Chain A
Amino acid sequence: MPEPMGFYTDTTVCIGCKACEVACKEWNQLPSTGGGRHEMSGDSYDNTRRLDGMHWRHVKFIEQFSEDRSEGRWLMMSDVCKHCVQAGCLEVCPTGAIIRTEFDTVVIQSDTCNGCRLCIAACPFGVIDINPVSHTAEKCTLCYDRLQAGMVPACAQACPTQSIQFGAIKDLKVRAAARVEQLHRLGESRARLYGADEEMLGGLNSFYLLVDEPEVYGLPRAPKLPSRNLFKSSLFSVLGAAIVALAGFVGLRQRRMEERARGEGGAGV
């Protein structure tokens, strides 16, 4: 049985070259946006903007400038499916299209998905979307086909700065902890890991080294499983059902009583 595999992404060494995006698109034969038409986002040097069914890797450009643009900071982060140990998408999928592989990664089987899109709403990171060619929900597979052949995922192989590192999760965690320690020694006290511990959805099999708050990178601070609301919401719904049924019954009984008071008699409640 293979051990859990995943990505450790060190955002401090990402240069925003988007080689990972290109490698992902090329290997997975993902279609181009707008039929290859060149479209600019208009408000960023990043023109891909987000993860979706056609972009399974996306390098975020966090462009922070002061009003007069005298001060500025760029943060880069290559984003991808987090392959959560407790995956919200897998939890809710009603067709069984989403599976956990032998590498502890999460994969959507395109031939089973019928496009109900519940997984899109359930993912706490906004990773999944419909691929306009297959018309099914799609996301990063952590190159399941390459993993089965003993290869490194395309994005990690293409990354020129080793910002995206692939390997066994336990090895990646050791490497990431050492890097955080090194950054702290060098004076970058804000360096922290995101998703490396089990508190966050049982651990993210794609975790990150960040140098600012998660929200700055467009990441939720405390992502949760959708099932957290199941019991409470069901309980209130049962209460609602009881109110509706009782109101109907009481209404008829009240009418019966009024009829009796008027002396009309007859069978009933």
Chain B
Amino acid sequence: MGRAVPVSDTFFTASPHWEWYIILYLFIGGIAGGCFLLAALLQVFGRPEDRPVARLGYYAALAGAGASGLVLSLDLTRPERFWHMLLQSHSGLPMFKAWSPMSVGVWGLLGFGGFAFLATLAVLEEEGLSWSVLRRGPVRWLARTGPATAIAALGSLFGLFLAGYTGVLLAVTNRPIWADSSFVGLLFLLSAGSTAAACLMLLATWRRRGDIETLETLARFDRRMLLFELIALALFVGSLGPVVQVLAGWWGALLLVGVVGAGIVLPLALEHRGGGPARLARASALVLAGGLLLRTVVILSSNAIHVTGTSVVQ
């Protein structure tokens, strides 16, 4: 006769079918938030030679905010109702729930997009563009030190929020793995730091912007983030308790070989050996692939668990 098998209460829930759009959002949103922060730091505390890379960071942040809104809307089963997240459909009043990470996150993404837009507008003149809009009073005012610093500071806060709230959102569910650990937000934030630095290094190499010292500063930041990420990954896996059995198969192998091996250890080794931009670019590509794989494993390994009838299927 069958007896009850002791399993986590989270195993009795249903998958929300969040797949590639959401995985892409977690990846792009993290990079966008991290890029804004790095751009702001380079702009406010860096040297004039850092400015071209700082501008790239703001452009990446703006593009990432736009892409995030797009993939999030496409993921809805009724995309034409995306605005129901912002306005109450029956009254037109603002829709906001401070205790729902998704509700707060939508407003956070909107705010981040706004700051990324302002920051981009403020630095565009440095590109030597002849657009008349850039010479108008309000835009010139944005580029002044005071407003530019305020935009950099506030936008960075929104960027950090965007990079981490998604982990909190996953934890505030009842799904296996996501709700079984409180470290997903921490992990996503650190991964956002490393993937954003990698993205900026790749962009700078590709666009031939920024001097070698800027790249080396980003590489050093990237290495620190990767080391912290290793610790956060260990905390995450350790916090899963008995649910860690879910990672015993292919998902665990992907996490170990793909995320830790190819996405953290190998780039660390490549960057440690030093070398020119080409080596940094190779390391950056690996970091980006590892960041995407991390989010893929976190989302899809949980999705694989569901209850059919009275049996838990993995």
Interface residues of A (CB under 8 A from B): 41, 43-44, 46, 49-50, 52, 60-62, 64-66, 71, 73, 88, 91-97, 111-118, 120-130, 135-136, 212-224, 226-227, 229-230, 232-241, 243-245, 247-249, 251-256, 266, 268-269
Who on chain A is nearest to B194 by CB?
A244
Please determine whether A240 and B47 come into contact, CB atoms closer than 8 angstroms: no
**Residues in chain A near residue B213, CB distance under 8 A:** 255
Tally the A-B contacts, defined by beta carbons under 8 Å. Answer: 256
Interface members, chain B 243-267 (any A CB < 8 Å): none
**Residues in chain B near residue A237, CB distance under 8 A:** 164-165, 167-168, 185-186, 188-189
Query: Whole-angstrom distance from the CB of A1 to the nearest CB of chain B?
Result: 22
Interface residues on B, range: 35 or more
**Residues in chain B near residue A230, CB distance under 8 A:** 99, 101, 168, 171-172
Please determine whether A88 and B174 come into contact, CB atoms closer than 8 angstroms: yes
6 contacts between A and B (CB under 8 A): A118-B173, A121-B16, A121-B174, A229-B182, A245-B156, A268-B47
Please determine whether A92 and B193 come into contact, CB atoms closer than 8 angstroms: no
Interface members, chain B 1-49 (any A CB < 8 Å): 1-7, 9-18, 34, 37-38, 41-42, 45-47
Query: B309 contacts the other chain (Cβ, under 8 Å)?
Result: yes
Who on chain A is nearest to B103 by CB?
A94
Provide the bound-state CA to CA distance between A145 and B81, in Å. 25
**Taking chain B's interface residues, is the majority helix, strand, or loop, or is none over half, making it mixed?**
helix
| CB-contact partner of A91 in B99, B160, B187, under 8 A | B99
| Given A218-B307, A226-B174, A244-B225, residue A124 in contact with residue B89 (CB < 8 A) | no
Who on chain B is nearest to A234 by CB?
B168
Interface membership of chain B positions 178-209, coded 1 if the CB is closer than 8 angstroms to chain A and 0 otherwise: 11001111111110110000000000000000
| CB-contact partner of B45 in A111, A241, A252, under 8 A | A252
Interface residues of B (CB under 8 A from A): 1-7, 9-18, 34, 37-38, 41-42, 45-47, 75-79, 81-82, 84-85, 88-90, 95, 97, 99-103, 106, 156, 160-161, 163-165, 167-169, 171-175, 178-179, 182-190, 192-193, 213, 217, 220-221, 224-225, 228, 232, 306-311
